[in-house]
Chains A and B, each alone.
Chain A
Amino acid sequence: MAGLREGVRRRYWRWVARRIPPEKTSRLDRRRIFIFPSRAGFGYLLLIAVLWLMATNYENNLVYGFAALLVAVFVVTMFHSYANLSGLAITVARVWPAFAGDKARVDLSLCQAGSRHRDNIVLWFAGGEPVTAALASEEARVSLHVPAPRRGRLVPGRLTIESRYPLGLFRVWTHIRPSCSGLVYPRPLPGHPIATGVPARDEGPLQAEEGAEEFRGLARYRLGDSLHRVAWKAYAQGRGMFSKQFSDPAADKLWIDWYAFPGLDREARLSRLCHWVLEAASGHAPYGLRLPGLEWPPDRGDAHRDRLLESLALHEIDPEAGS
């Protein structure tokens, strides 16, 4: 029985996948929208059946009339339920990067041609939490979260959109696959670098090229402080906004090096490197990254940090393979 059910379910998903291909913007139409009475809808039909029996046994034409009215409401509601999703265009505006094991935020934009009031639209990615949206004008933005279990490229996958508006008698739904992807950085793990035997390079993973930088401590952030010096980790932990104080805020150069973490496997190393990239990015000194076969020269700035994190995310990942 369970096997049969599983088989039916697999066939259903295969059929849905064939019917609704991945696309950048999904405009919900007849092809994509499914509609079926909900459990409440079947309850409502049962109610009508009881009323009809009452009308028959009491030969009461008024009860017949109201039973007919409820049937008519059912039919009319079917169209309204369908119209709540029909004509809606869904585009993934952005998949925000996330660290492995976290949830990635996905920004969706819901658009429509007119200004119909669409209400109670529930959206969720497979494995994610449902979010309820309403649309009173031409456009609405919704943020969803999808689990990002592994490092690499994240394809959010199947997006289910469901609505029971206006009376809950019908379940109208669709499964679309927005073609979009995001990055999943390695999970940052703190760990001290170990000196390797290679001289000139390996005095540490964070080697200052000209003299070691000296981390002095944290001071409360003041307006005008460089954003590069903000202690983002402390901020993320909710302790408040602090600036890192260094003894010599001159142009130090740091190297974050793959080879400074011997004895660890690939993922563990990437996690350490990620941690240090974030640490270095919160400092002021230019920093570079060395990976097998790849070297980013020291630099500063958000774009530089994101480039480095991307290299870590995609290190030895088949560009074709999604998660």
Chain B
Amino acid sequence: MTAIRQLPRYGSLWLLIAFVASVLPHTGHLPPWISVAAAVAVAWRVQIFRGAWHYPGRWVKFALLCLCLAGLVLVYGRLYGLEPMVAMLVAAYALKLLEMRDKRDALIVVYLGFFVAVSLCLFDQSLVTAAIVLFALAAVTAGLAGIHQTDLHHRHFRPAMTGAMLLGQALPLMLVLFLVMPRLPPLWSVPMQRESGTTGMSDTLSPGDITQLGRSAEVAFRVEFADDVPPRRRLYWRGLVLSRFDGRTWSQWESWTYARDNIHMHGEAPPHWLAGQWGTGTSVAYRVTLEPTQQHWLYSLPIPQPLTAGTGVTRNYSLVRREPVVSETAYRVRSWQARPDASDSLSPLRRRVETHLPAGYNPRTQRIARQWAAEADDTEALVRRVLDTFRRDFFYTLNPPALGQHSVDEFLWDSRRGYCEHFASAFAFFMRAAGVPARVVVGYQGGEHHRAENYLIVRQYDAHAWAEVWLEGSGWVRVDPTVAVAPERIERSVVDVLEGEEGLFSASPLSLERFRSVAWLNTLRLRLDYLDYLWTKWVLGYREQQQSLLGDLLGRVEPWRIALFLLAGAGLALLPVLAWCFVQARPAFTRVEDRWYRHFCDRLAGIGLAREPGEAPGDFARRVAVREPAIVEPVKGITEAYERCRYGGDRAAGAELKARVRRFRPRWSRLFFYKDRKP
């Protein structure tokens, strides 16, 4: 068949609306000129719709295509990457919309629309985004429905209703599929978002990094404990261990890709350096739902035992993940409160690494450190002396002065004002200068306890840096210089400590955190956070629960049980659809006589005498009389009663009609009067 290719006029209207609905939410992370180009495409299309302008010619289209490509290369410098690819998609969508003439073009436009709408989720996965994407998908579906409906001239909203109805009926089935659909690990690595709105923790530490995070109230992760939430001072969420110092910046000595024998993945037999750690002392089990960081490391209390597939623990007792955390991810951990094994001595190589200092930096600190080391009885005494110094005349502030080349010297002996990274960095440097192995650990400290729902919210401003020193006989011991200078930072919250200080929340201007003191706003804030947590936990981080939830639902997770569940669930989810599609809607009768007359017609239809559509009752009765003389009398009586009742307003005839129709059995009458039938 030659398909009818022409596009229904009002179908293209809905494609236009779909375009706006799916591109508009993207404007935040697209270069402005793409948004302008999209607006021009929409305006042009509207003019075409009104018949005012023509379609662009071939050369105009070619020029526009070249312009778009050049613009993309100019803005991004590359075409491989998440933002450039989405920008390219939007540009293609706009160009295709402009040149759309027939159904085939419209289909490409619709499919691009689906893609552009869903790709919004790669930038943001909040509940609001989901609602926006759902709306955009409904609009695109309406566009698709619009090009397949014919009589739209007076019913412009029919495609939208069709789209919304289809989406609505699909939702239950979607739920079943979402629960069951297998989640595979990534098949290949994909380009990530380059410039995210809020920066999480990076894998290096320079003065000012954590100060930057301290200005943001974004959620970093949330934790649900199996039992009680441990006291605040024990909530040191270890992230990265930084052992390399170049004079200004701390960084990892190993890259995240540890040698196989220095990392233990979940499910493997524990190696010797872990064997003594697990199973002794007390432990606390919890579940972390981490916001995307685009990084490989995770956060955990010491000493973590990974309980989720794909996660592992390094020899530094950091928790890592095989795949980078590109979206909301949940993992379970059990942390053992045991001390690191004292017998685990430091290898000569590691000792050299952990005491290495770059030449030519901070000469004054190096000199004093050597002097103090000589004066101290042992390492503990040295640590105490340094912390005492901090306690006496240092200030904890979110707005420290900028530091020059000899950053530690300037900080320790001159400015004496700093945030946690200044203290941690200076302390570790001092210890190394004194010949003690020391390193910096970055992560988060504390968190807000959501008492109503009993979980912990850790935000970016909880970011923290502290130090670890090697004590012979005890191993690596945590030393947090911030405790010395601002003990309330650990006991309460950084927000309380820095209340009123300039810069707090400056990266989150709209955060409700600003109004913590207003009781009802604070309640509202916590409610909203719980909603967001539920969303993150059950929708975005569902991957980790899938196994346990399916296990609870099915008893055991086996392929045939899943298949059965899918079938039963899909059947149940589709029941309303089946009812809608196949229960034929008969016209609703407002008059009872119409209903009785239809019974009469149905009975005649049963013996092969169907009333033609639009046939008058009288004509029908005469036709029946010719074919079936045996039932002339009852047919005549019923028809007359019906006509009297329906058109003559004779209410009494209604009762007669009812009685006669009840008695009317044409099948039987025909049996008895078979001989009278005309051939």
Q: With contacts A57-B186, A115-B585 known, is A109 near B613, CB below 8 A?
A: yes
Q: With contacts A69-B137, A73-B170, A166-B166 known, is A139 near B181, CB below 8 A?
A: no
A 167-221 contacts with B by CB, 8 A: 167-168
Is B323 located at the chain interface by the 8 A CB criterion? yes
A50 to B162, CA, bound (A): 25
Nearest CB of A to B156, in Å: 15
* Residue numbers in A under 8 Å from B577 (CB-CB): 76, 79-80
Assess whether A75 is in contact with B173, with CB atoms less than 8 Å apart.
Answer: yes
B580-607 to A contact mask, C-beta < 8 Å, 1/0? 0110111100000000000000000000
A-side interface size class: 35 or more
Assess whether A54 is in contact with B540, with CB atoms less than 8 Å apart.
Answer: no
Nearest CB of A to B645, in Å: 22
Q: Which residue of B lies closest to A53 (CB)?
A: B187
Nearest CB of A to B88, in Å: 15
Assess whether B115 is in contact with A168, with CB atoms less than 8 Å apart.
Answer: no
Assess whether B121 is in contact with A62, with CB atoms less than 8 Å apart.
Answer: yes
Q: With contacts A114-B584, A168-B147 known, is A77 near B114, CB below 8 A?
A: no
* Residue numbers in B under 8 Å from A60 (CB-CB): 121-122, 125, 326-327
Is A61 located at the chain interface by the 8 A CB criterion? yes
Is A296 located at the chain interface by the 8 A CB criterion? no
* Residue numbers in A under 8 Å from B327 (CB-CB): 58-61
Is B151 located at the chain interface by the 8 A CB criterion? yes
A161 to B286, CA, bound (A): 62
Is A134 located at the chain interface by the 8 A CB criterion? yes
Q: Choose one: A44, A114, A168; the contact of B587 (CB below 8 Å).
A: A114
A123-151 to B contact mask, C-beta < 8 Å, 1/0? 01000001010101011000000000000
B503-540 to A contact mask, C-beta < 8 Å, 1/0? 00000000000000000000000000000000000011
Is B139 located at the chain interface by the 8 A CB criterion? no
Q: Choose one: B107, B148, B328; the contact of A61 (CB below 8 Å).
A: B328
Assess whether B581 is in contact with A61, with CB atoms less than 8 Å apart.
Answer: no
A53 to B162, CA, bound (A): 28
Given A59-B326, A61-B542, A76-B173: 6 more A-B contacts, CB < 8 Å:
A65-B130, A66-B118, A79-B577, A119-B151, A122-B1, A165-B148
Nearest CB of A to B258, in Å: 22
Is B150 located at the chain interface by the 8 A CB criterion? yes
Is A297 located at the chain interface by the 8 A CB criterion? no
Is A96 located at the chain interface by the 8 A CB criterion? no
User: Can you list 30 pairs linking A and B with CB atoms under 8 Å apart?
Assistant: A47-B115, A51-B118, A56-B187, A59-B543, A61-B539, A62-B125, A62-B540, A63-B118, A63-B121, A64-B181, A65-B539, A66-B121, A72-B573, A73-B141, A75-B574, A76-B173, A80-B577, A86-B582, A113-B586, A114-B587, A115-B587, A122-B1, A122-B4, A124-B1, A132-B150, A162-B1, A166-B148, A166-B162, A168-B103, A168-B144
* Residue numbers in A under 8 Å from B103 (CB-CB): 168
Nearest CB of B to A27, in Å: 11
**7 interchain residue pairs of minimum CB distance:** A72-B170, A83-B581, A72-B173, A68-B177, A114-B585, A62-B121, A114-B584
A76 to B206, CA, bound (A): 56
B 182-236 contacts with A by CB, 8 A: 183-190
Q: With contacts A54-B122, A60-B326, A65-B539 known, is A76 near B149, CB below 8 A?
A: no
Is B614 located at the chain interface by the 8 A CB criterion? yes
B 111-149 contacts with A by CB, 8 A: 111, 114-115, 118-119, 121-122, 125, 129-130, 133, 137, 141, 144-145, 147-149
Assess whether A116 is in contact with B613, with CB atoms less than 8 Å apart.
Answer: no
Assess whether B4 is in contact with A111, with CB atoms less than 8 Å apart.
Answer: no
Is A28 located at the chain interface by the 8 A CB criterion? no
Is A159 located at the chain interface by the 8 A CB criterion? no
Is B302 located at the chain interface by the 8 A CB criterion? no
* Residue numbers in A under 8 Å from B613 (CB-CB): 109, 111, 138-139
Assess whether A40 is in contact with B150, with CB atoms less than 8 Å apart.
Answer: no
Q: Which residue of B lies closest to A136 (CB)?
A: B151
Q: Which residue of A lies closest to B325 (CB)?
A: A59
Nearest CB of A to B115, in Å: 7
Is B578 located at the chain interface by the 8 A CB criterion? yes
Assess whether B170 is in contact with A69, with CB atoms less than 8 Å apart.
Answer: yes
Is B171 located at the chain interface by the 8 A CB criterion? yes
B549-593 to A contact mask, C-beta < 8 Å, 1/0? 000000000000000000000100110011001101111000000
A44 to B114, CA, bound (A): 10
Nearest CB of A to B1, in Å: 6
A132 to B328, CA, bound (A): 50
Assess whether B1 is in contact with A160, with CB atoms less than 8 Å apart.
Answer: yes
Assess whether A134 is in contact with B150, with CB atoms less than 8 Å apart.
Answer: yes
Nearest CB of B to A256, in Å: 37
* Residue numbers in A under 8 Å from B130 (CB-CB): 62, 65
Q: Which residue of A lies closest to B324 (CB)?
A: A59
A65 to B120, CA, bound (A): 13
B426-464 to A contact mask, C-beta < 8 Å, 1/0? 000000000000000000000000000000000000000
Q: Which residue of B lies closest to A116 (CB)?
A: B585
Q: Which residue of B lies closest to A74 (CB)?
A: B170
Assess whether B540 is in contact with A80, with CB atoms less than 8 Å apart.
Answer: no
B 308-347 contacts with A by CB, 8 A: 323, 326-329
* Residue numbers in B under 8 Å from A47 (CB-CB): 111, 114-115
Assess whether A70 is in contact with B114, with CB atoms less than 8 Å apart.
Answer: yes
B73-85 to A contact mask, C-beta < 8 Å, 1/0? 0000000000000
* Residue numbers in B under 8 Å from A115 (CB-CB): 585-587
* Residue numbers in B under 8 Å from A287 (CB-CB): none
Assess whether B121 is in contact with A76, with CB atoms less than 8 Å apart.
Answer: no
Assess whether B122 is in contact with A76, with CB atoms less than 8 Å apart.
Answer: no
Is A108 located at the chain interface by the 8 A CB criterion? no
Assess whether B541 is in contact with A87, with CB atoms less than 8 Å apart.
Answer: no
Assess whether B186 is in contact with A167, with CB atoms less than 8 Å apart.
Answer: no
Assess whether A76 is in contact with B137, with CB atoms less than 8 Å apart.
Answer: no
Q: With contacts A51-B118, A114-B586 known, is A61 near B541, CB below 8 A?
A: yes
Assess whether A79 is in contact with B148, with CB atoms less than 8 Å apart.
Answer: no
